[in-house]
Structure 1
Amino acid sequence: MKLLLTSAGITNPSIENALVDLLGKPIAEASALCVPTAAYAMAGGPGSAYRLITGQSVITLCELGWKSLGVLELTALPSIDEEQWVPLVRETDALLVGGGDALYLCHWMRQSGLERLLPSLHGTVYVGASAGSMVMTPDIGQDFVESYSWKPPTGDNSTLGVVDFSLFPHLDHENLPENTMAEAEKWAAGLRGPAYAIDDDTAVKVTGGTVEVVSGGHWRHFRDSHDGTC
């Protein structure tokens, strides 16, 4: 699976070019499935999910001019046969995974069976935004865990660990005054591995074992999260 991990989706030409490169064809020739599940554990979740799907969200994913666009709601999948949705996922060019609560999203990725399917999706591009990106990391950090009102029934705060680094999204966002570089440094110091702090004009592109930062904004790589060096 190829990954494009962002704060707010496809927000500038550099990130869009990275997406097209991963797809191997124009967006207008590619199919996509939107995953809005993470939004439901947050205040105003149904409205946020609607805005994401209809291209009215602050996250830019669904309004890019896809050849076809569907909705993959993870909470529905355990109640239907896999034959109803697994072939569709396998045939889809891109999974567009929106923001919200990363732990809630992780729970439903596991419960739905999507987590087990991900390693076999070699040609699929996973496009995450905010929590949709964080869920692919091994650790979202205690600060984010404490900010969520929904708690996993197992008490396990780990995320999927598809990549070996953590992500701090929305760096220095004007509407999120707590998301400063100083706060990102404190967050990174509590982690056990490398991490990136990225603003809304930055993405982390992952293909195979190669990690590349694509940015029209600013970001920081914490190589050793314990001492905060970069």
Structure 2
Amino acid sequence: MKLLLTSAGISNPSIHNALVEMLGKPVAESTALFVPTAIYGIPNGGDIVRRVINGTLGDPFCEMGWKSLGLLELTALPTIKQELWVPLLQETDALLVGGGDCQYLCYWMQQSGLADLLPSLLNKIVYVGLSAGSMIMTSYGTTYGNHILPTESPKSLNFVDFAIHPHLDYPGFTNNTLANIEKQAATLSVPSYAIDDQTAIKMVDDTIEVISEGNWKLIKPSL
């Protein structure tokens, strides 16, 4: 399993180098698929998707010199034969999963069938998450609630037994202070990583490494 769980994308040389190491080759020689689905669960999602793809919003993610970049929209997959999209996943080098609403993303991960395919895919490709795209692979997710889903819909897929709290101390995100994150983490039964936008969690099989040019903190569970 190869996971690169970022707060904001490939935001500095250290995270870029970690990605190249996981790919085993330069980005310019690697193919990628971008999953924008989570972004539609937040206000102005359509425009945000456009800006993430063309690189005018946030740190490098889609527009960073990939050999090829395709889109994988999860909401469309249940109406398409699997032989049209599963081979795309099997042949790609990196799956880029964007941020937005965790619950909305989890729902469509499951409805599309991608969640069931991930265990076998993650032995071959690098999963690169951004914010919610990172959080859903852990034991903790959040929701903006801007959707109509069953209330019991999960907010994370529990692939790994820790939590990620992204955007630590991000200007304008008043709830993302370390003190507030520590309060949230205290309610969880798993370790929590509070990470800023210059930090990512690299996981290869069972080995976890924090890649950072910024600030982060590992918060042990109190339960």
> Is the TM-score greater than 0.5?
yes
Q: Shorter-chain TM-score: what band? A: over 0.9
> Residue deviations 1:126-171, cap 9 Å, x none?
000000001111222xxx34x4333631513341011111110000
- Paired residues for 1:84-103 under 5 Å: 84-103=84-103
Contact preservation (8 Å) 1:59, 1:98: no
Match 1:202 to one of 199, 203, 220? 199
Equivalence for 2:118? 118
Matches within 5 A, 1:1-150: 1-121=1-121, 122-140=123-141, 144-145=142-143, 147-150=144-147
Question: Percent of aligned positions with the same letter in both sequences?
Answer: 57
Letter in 2 for 1:91: E
2-side partners of 1:114 and 1:107: how far apart?
Answer: 10
Q: Confirm or deny: 8 A CA contact 2:107 2:154 kept in the other structure.
A: no
Amino acid corresponding to residue 164 of structure 1 in structure 2: D
| Distance of 1:137 and 1:66 partners within structure 2 | 27
* 5+ long unaligned stretches in structure 2: none
Give the TM-score of the pair, scaled to structure 1.
0.93
Give the distance between the partners of 1:97 and 1:148, measured in 2 at CA.
19
> What amino acid is the match of 1:7?
S
Q: Aligned in 2, Cα 1:81/1:26: closer, same or farther, shift over 3 Å?
A: same
Give the Cα–Cα distance (whole angstroms) in 1 for the partners of residues 99 and 203 of structure 2: 19
Q: Is the 8 A contact 1:98 1:131 kept in 2?
A: yes
Query: Structure 1 stretch 57-66 or stretch 127-136: which is displaced more?
Result: 57-66
Q: Deviation string for 1:16-54 (max 9, x for gaps)?
A: 000001000000000000110000011001111111122
| Alignment coverage as a number of residue pairs | 222
Return the alpha-carbon distance in structure 1 between the equivalents of residues 148 and 180 of structure 2: 23
Question: Which letter does structure 2 place at the counterpart of 1:80?
Answer: I
Deviation string, structure 1 residues 192-215 (Cα, Å, up to 9, x no partner): 211110000000000000011000
Give the Cα–Cα distance (whole angstroms) in 2 for the partners of residues 211 and 34 of structure 1. 24
- Matched residue SS, 2:96: strand
Of the structure 1 ranges 56-65 and 149-158, higher mean CA displacement relative to structure 2 is found in 149-158
CA distance in 2, matches of 1:87, 1:57: 30
Q: Give the superposition deviation at 1:64.
A: 1.1
